[in-house]
Structure 1
Amino acid sequence: MSDRTIHIFTHHAEEAQHWVNALCEDLDWPSDKRGYHLLRGVLHALRDWLSPEELADFSAQLPVLVRGVLFEGWNPAALPVTDRSREDFFDRVRAECAEDLPDYPDGEVAAVFRLIDRHISAGEARQVRGALRKTLQGLWPTH
């Protein structure tokens, strides 16, 4: 039993690391720490933008550890947020990334959206994209 448990945990860790590595490759970043911060920041901003129902649907399609990152520090009583401008979204992401992002991180946020889009169903991607303000929808890939 312990061998199987260790394998399962290892698999989930490798899957989450793959997400971070893919993001860093897409952005040509050498630091997986920086990529992790960006992924976490965008996931937290998305989490706070989505309704609880949509958040549940979205999270069900994420790998276990990525889902854990999504829900880290979650306060459902304060959601969804009411300040939902593009700049508010970027501010939330920047708060998680410290000095890692430029003033207008369109390309970085778009890279995370592309990563997520590659790993969730097309229907779920449309729903999440549709929950965003139009100014952010343009950063999410369309098919």
Structure 2
Amino acid sequence: MQINVEELDQSVKHALQWIAEVDERMGTRNRRVAMTSLQCTLQAVRRQLDPDQVARLAKCLPIPLKGAMFENWRPAAPSPAASRSEFLGRIEETVFRNLDISVERGVKASIEVMCKKIPAEVVAEFAGRLPFDLRSLWSNEPLPYPGHGAV
């Protein structure tokens, strides 16, 4: 297998664009926080899906974000969160407790960017597996979101 360096370079640029957009939506001016938000959200969505659905979602991601989503993954039956609070709680107990931003703000920004960058039919597939009350997170707020601190 031959590695196409130009393709890899483009993929890194696309991943950085995703991260910059998450950062802009959160208003943090901190790419590390934006990347953490995006990675945690991708992994939380991954837990909602079966392995085939995870593979379809991964095809839509730049290579670095695929790696972030698949980190520590062991394919298994989905273990979906039943509610918004359970979904956010799973993320918060991982790394968000150490960030100066609310888990809701990070997930909201990440999902909005995912919905913008991923084809609608793939978004529909994973959005349908998210808790219904989680959809209230991606309303139409101006950027960056008001009150962007630890909310």
Q: For this structure pair, what is the TM-score category when the shorter chain's length is used for normalisation?
A: 0.7 to 0.9
Percent of pairs with identical residues:
23
**Bigger shift: 82-91 or 44-53?**
82-91
The aligned length equals 137
In 1: Cα distance, 2:33 partner to 2:19 partner: 9
Q: Report if aligned partners of 1:129, 1:140 keep a CA contact under 8 Å in 2.
A: no
The structure whose RCO (Cα within 8 Å, separation 6+) is larger is: 2
1:49 alignment partner AA: Q
Normalising by structure 2, we get a TM-score of 0.79
Higher helix share: 1
Q: Could you tell me how far 1:10 is from its partner in structure 2? A: 2.2
Cα deviation per residue 1:50-77 (whole Å; 9 max; x = unaligned)? 1222212211111122111111110113
Q: Report if aligned partners of 2:48, 2:129 keep a CA contact under 8 Å in 1.
A: yes
Cα deviation per residue 1:85-118 (whole Å; 9 max; x = unaligned)? 322211222213332232xx33331211110011
In 2: Cα distance, 1:52 partner to 1:141 partner: 29
Normalising by structure 1, we get a TM-score of 0.82
Q: Report if aligned partners of 1:22, 1:115 keep a CA contact under 8 Å in 2.
A: yes
Q: Report if aligned partners of 1:34, 1:97 keep a CA contact under 8 Å in 2.
A: no
Structure 1 counterpart of 2:55: 56
In 2: Cα distance, 1:93 partner to 1:113 partner: 13
Please give the secondary structure, in 1, of the residue aligned with 2:79.
coil
Gaps of 5+ in 2: 141-151
Cα deviation per residue 1:13-65 (whole Å; 9 max; x = unaligned)? 22111111111011111110011111111001000111222212211111122
Structure 2 counterpart of 1:127: 125
Gaps of 5+ in 1: none
Please give the secondary structure, in 2, of the residue aligned with 1:131.
coil
Report the aligned-residue RMSD: 2.3
* 1:1-143 aligned within 5 A: 5-77=4-76, 79-94=77-92, 95-100=94-99, 101-102=101-102, 105-140=103-138
User: Which structure 1 residue ranges, 4+ long, deviate > 3 Å from structure 2?
Assistant: none
Cα 1:15–1:87 change in 2 (3 A) is same
